[in-house]
């Protein structure tokens, strides 16, 4: 059975690396807090109750699509559709198609920004490949009216952001949950990382601080990784109860779990 994503794809590199995934969700956490459909996650209670745990459960679904054969990926997409349909049945309403597109578009946009932040900008071919993979994900989820290519997606993403983002009471509530979960200094770090990743409209709506020292922090982190100190950096930067879950996000290109370095093995 052919893989859903080819083994040497840049998409596997992004979604097989815990650091990239954390940046994808850091950026998405900012933008989704502004989305007009954020009330759907408040309806289930899942996001406000455990915003960081929600990251890991969503990432697990994504990896069950990226690192498997096409048939298995389609079954996972079917499970996600069933979850959405169950929530809709409980609420007696439908999640708008535009809201599904917004979430899919966020994952595409922040996947690209995460790779650029940690490694280098994507090439034109890699951008098209990234979009093609997520377009097929969207089609598997039954999301209509997806643009045909990367350039059309960029234009549509801008239209969606301008129409669907606004600061509201649920935005403030979500950010209070982020702060409670992370503590003061990790929350301050999150804000700077979000400012580094977010599009101008998101930065303006959230009145984000300038990301000046976040750029230097990223450079220091990349140096630590090259020196084999990645897991040690995780121990400093990540809340203790989530460190093991972060290690679980690391995959090799073939989809096998990997340890980051010797420090990770010693740390258990």
| Domain ranges, ordered by start, for the chain | 10-210
Backbone angles phi, psi at 17, to 5 degrees: -120, 120
Residues 150-208: tens digit of each pLDDT: 999 999 999 999 999 999 999 999 999 999 999 999 999 999 999 999 999 999 999 99
pLDDT of residue 259: 43
Q: What SS3 string covers 63-116?
A: HHHHCCEHHHHHHHHHHHHHHHHHHHHHHCCCCCHHHHHHHHHHHHHHHHHHHH
- Report the share of the chain in percent with pLDDT over 90: 72
- At how many degrees (to 10) do helices 184-197 and 18-34 cross? 90
Per the listing, tokens 């377009």 go with: 135
Among 139-143, 231-235, 249-253, which is the least confidently predicted range? 249-253
Structure tokens at 108: 């595409």
pLDDT of residue 262: 32
Q: How far is residue 43's CA from residue 186's CA, in Å, rounded to a whole number? A: 27
What is the pTM for the complete model shown? Answer: 0.90
3-state SS assignment for residue 196: helix
Residues 61-114: tens digit of each pLDDT: 899 899 999 999 999 999 999 999 999 999 999 999 999 999 999 999 999 999
Average per-residue pLDDT in the chain?
A: 90
pLDDT of residue 264: 36
DSSP bridge pairs for 257: 251
């Amino acid at each position: 059975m052919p893989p859903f994503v080819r083994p040497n794809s840049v998409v596997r590199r992004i979604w097989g690396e815990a650091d990239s995934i954390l940046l994808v969700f850091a950026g998405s956490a900012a933008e989704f807090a502004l989305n007009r459909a954020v009330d759907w996650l408040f309806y289930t209670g899942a996001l406000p109750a455990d915003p960081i745990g929600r990251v890991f459960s969503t990432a697990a679904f994504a990896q069950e699509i990226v690192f498997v054969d096409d048939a298995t990926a389609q079954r996972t997409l079917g499970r996600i559709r069933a979850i959405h349909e169950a929530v809709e049945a409980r609420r007696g309403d439908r999640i708008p198609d535009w809201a599904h597109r917004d979430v899919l578009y966020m994952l595409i946009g922040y996947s690209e920004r995460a790779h650029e932040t940690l490694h280098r900008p994507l090439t034109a071919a890699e951008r098209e490949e990234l979009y093609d993979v997520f377009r097929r994900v969207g089609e598997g989820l039954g999301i209509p009216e997806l643009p045909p290519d990367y350039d059309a997606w960029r234009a549509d993403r801008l239209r969606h952001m301008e129409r669907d983002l606004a600061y509201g009471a649920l935005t403030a509530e979500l950010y209070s949950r982020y702060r409670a979960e992370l503590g003061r200094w990790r929350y301050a770090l999150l804000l700077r990382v979000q400012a580094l990743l977010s599009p101008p409209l998101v930065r303006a709506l959230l009145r984000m601080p300038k990301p000046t020292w976040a750029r230097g922090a990223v450079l220091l982190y990349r140096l630590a990784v090259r020196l084999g100190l990645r897991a040690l950096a995780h121990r400093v930067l990540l809340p203790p109860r989530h460190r093991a879950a972060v290690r679980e996000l690391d995959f090799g290109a073939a989809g096998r779990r990997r340890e980051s370095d010797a420090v990770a093995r010693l740390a258990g």
